[in-house]
């Protein structure tokens, strides 16, 4: 008999060590190492010969001999999922979908599996029974005769069933519940997650079958399991949003086949996830016209222009240390903008509490948000509402100058489409657009003090 091999794994980041360590060298956490048995051998792996007619052989090939044609994608009936994947599902890709419990991951991919009626789809559930999945499918009111269900957690049994069915799309819910008998440790442990993901990775690449792995996240928002899981997969999608709101955001964190700046927006309904084709209307729908501290920013997320509402509240500090609180915006960026207003504009924010919120629960990292944040802060500081039907697109530099932003024409067109009458942009963006091609009034300005004089 082969000797039983054990190793120590960090339960936080998946760092592997031959002996127990008090502090993890990978993530610097204390007392996170646990011993796990790695009992490999004695088991037969499933061979995929003949499963796929175009199975690639393992041989050396010159780079010039490789055809540079674009990878053929499976276009789903969900335009938001197509967008975040870069145009559709790539055959043989391994996609990890992470999100909080109860956020709607299982509902979204059960719905997408049922909608793909031209493909043979296998939905593997390790968390729910067949009756529970059937109840959810009945609620979605979608019928697909090519949709198959397997409630199993042992990977060897799963692959035997896959070999019989020969599906064109596999959805695993969830990777933390699976268990391989090649590894002698409990389901959900670092070694089990890594081994199960490696088996599905090998299956996807050898057969050209796309696989979606649904995973959980930890309390601090990181994907549960080792960091190596993110390195093994081709695409990592994050499904986020507040459970108390109906809107959900599908965001790309890693994508080998497309942009990582894309996001898809869904609305949670009683009959599943509804795609939101024009999110700008939602993000600014509940805006009060005559209240101070509110400004509209024209941003870009991936290829999609968005108009978002920036809310600011500036009040006199009651305690000695003023507060700086943000939601959906970078706190250090806010401190930088406040310093610019104090130094270049003479506004005294030193003894003021400042709160900034991006309405709708969305997180924005586009630097073009700077100008709208500054205008919202000045509006609340002066307690004067901004003029209605005006929006902003510009980055603010440390000298108080308004810097140019990219793809300004798309931002202007989105503002015009939603009925805005004016947009303030950087004067350095003048060469990037033709003002005569837009009906909206475009106001190019160069400095923050010019914006203040224009508005107040």
Average pLDDT over residues 428-451: 91
If pLDDT is split at 50, 70 and 90, which confidence band does 185 have? confident
Mean pLDDT of the chain: 87
pLDDT of residue 221: 58
Average pLDDT over residues 125-140: 92
Same domain for 199 and 121: yes
Q: Is 58 within the bounds of a domain? A: no
Same domain for 156 and 130: yes
pLDDT above 70 (res 288): no
CB 364 within 8 A of CB 328: yes
Q: Provide the domain count of the chain.
A: 3
Rg of the chain in Å (alpha carbons): 26
Tell me, letter by letter, the H, E, C secondary structure of 97-128. EEECCCCCHHHHHHHHHHHCCCCCEEEEECCC
Is 446 annotated for ligand binding?
A: no
If you count them, how many residues does the chain have?
A: 456
Is 106 annotated for ligand binding?
A: yes
Last residue of a domain, one of 277, 293, 313: 277
166: tokens are 């020969």
Q: Is 67 within the bounds of a domain? A: no
Average pLDDT over residues 285-302: 81
pLDDT of residue 332: 95
Instruction: List the CATH number of the domain containing 401.
Output: 3.30.230.10
255: tokens are 């994508």
Same domain for 134 and 23: no
Same domain for 307 and 268: no
Is 99 annotated for ligand binding?
A: yes
Last residue of a domain, one of 258, 277, 296: 277
Is 104 annotated for ligand binding?
A: yes
Same domain for 261 and 146: yes
| CA-wise closest residue to 95 among 48, 156, 108, 180 | 108
Q: Is 68 within the bounds of a domain? A: no
Q: Is 51 within the bounds of a domain? A: no
Q: Is 30 within the bounds of a domain? A: yes
pLDDT, tens only, 27-81: 888 988 888 776 555 555 555 554 554 455 568 989 888 776 666 899 999 999 9
Same domain for 309 and 240: no
Domain that holds residue 308: 282-455
Is 102 annotated for ligand binding?
A: yes
**φ and ψ of 375, to 5 deg:** -70, -35
Q: Is 64 within the bounds of a domain? A: no
Is 208 annotated for ligand binding?
A: no
CB 425 within 8 A of CB 372: no
Same domain for 236 and 322: no
Same domain for 131 and 231: yes
Is 380 annotated for ligand binding?
A: no
Same domain for 266 and 158: yes
pTM for this model (two decimals): 0.76
Same domain for 437 and 320: yes
Same domain for 308 and 265: no
Same domain for 32 and 130: no
Q: Is 50 within the bounds of a domain? A: no
Last residue of a domain, one of 277, 296, 313: 277
Q: Is 62 within the bounds of a domain? A: no
Is 158 annotated for ligand binding?
A: no
């Amino acid at each position: 008999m082969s000797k039983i091999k054990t190793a120590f794994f960090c339960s936080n980041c998946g760092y592997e060590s031959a002996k127990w360590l008090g502090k993890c060298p990978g993530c610097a956490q204390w007392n996170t190492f646990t011993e796990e048995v790695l009992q490999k051998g004695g088991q037969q792996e499933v061979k995929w010969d003949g499963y796929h007619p175009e199975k690639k052989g393992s041989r050396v090939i010159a780079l010039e001999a490789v055809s540079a044609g674009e990878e053929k994608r499976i276009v789903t009936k969900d335009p938001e999922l197509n967008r975040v994947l870069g145009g559709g599902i790539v055959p043989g890709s391994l996609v990890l979908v992470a999100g909080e419990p109860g956020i709607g991951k299982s509902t979204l991919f059960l719905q997408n599996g049922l909608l793909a009626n031209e493909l043979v789809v296998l939905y593997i559930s390790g968390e729910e029974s067949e009756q529970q999945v059937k109840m959810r499918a009945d609620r979605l009111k979608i019928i697909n005769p090519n949709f198959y269900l397997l409630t199993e957690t042992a990977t060897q049994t799963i692959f035997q069933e896959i070999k019989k069915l020969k599906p064109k799309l596999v959805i695993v819910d969830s990777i933390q519940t699976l268990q391989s008998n090649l590894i002698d440790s409990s389901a959900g442990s670092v070694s089990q997650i890594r081994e199960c993901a490696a088996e599905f990775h090998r299956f996807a690449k050898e057969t050209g079958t796309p696989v979606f792995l649904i995973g959980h996240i930890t309390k601090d928002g990181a994907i549960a399991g080792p960091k190596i899981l993110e390195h093994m997969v081709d695409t990592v999608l994050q499904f986020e949003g507040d459970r108390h709101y109906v809107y959900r955001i599908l965001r790309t964190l890693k994508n080998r086949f497309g942009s990582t700046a894309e996001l898809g927006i869904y609305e949670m309904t009683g009959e599943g996830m509804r795609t939101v084709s024009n999110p700008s209307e939602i993000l600014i729908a509940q805006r009060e016209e005559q209240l101070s501290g509110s400004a509209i920013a024209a941003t870009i997320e991936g290829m999609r222009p968005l108009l978002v509402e920036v809310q600011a509240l500036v009040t006199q500090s009651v305690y000695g240390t003023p507060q700086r609180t943000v939601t959906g915006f970078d706190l250090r960026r806010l401190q930088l903008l406040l310093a610019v207003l104090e130094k270049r504009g003479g506004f005294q924010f030193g003894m003021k509490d400042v709160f900034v919120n991006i309405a709708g629960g969305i997180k924005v990292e586009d630097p073009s948000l700077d100008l709208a944040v500054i205008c919202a802060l000045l509006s609340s500081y002066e307690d004067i509402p901004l003029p209605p039907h005006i929006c902003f697109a510009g980055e603010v530099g440390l000298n108080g100058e308004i810097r140019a932003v990219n793809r300004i024409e798309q931002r202007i067109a989105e503002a015009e489409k939603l009925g805005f009458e004016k947009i303030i942009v950087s004067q350095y963006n003048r060469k990037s657009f033709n003002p005569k091609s837009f009906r909206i009034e475009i106001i190019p300005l160069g400095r923050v003090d010019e914006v203040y004089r224009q508005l107040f």
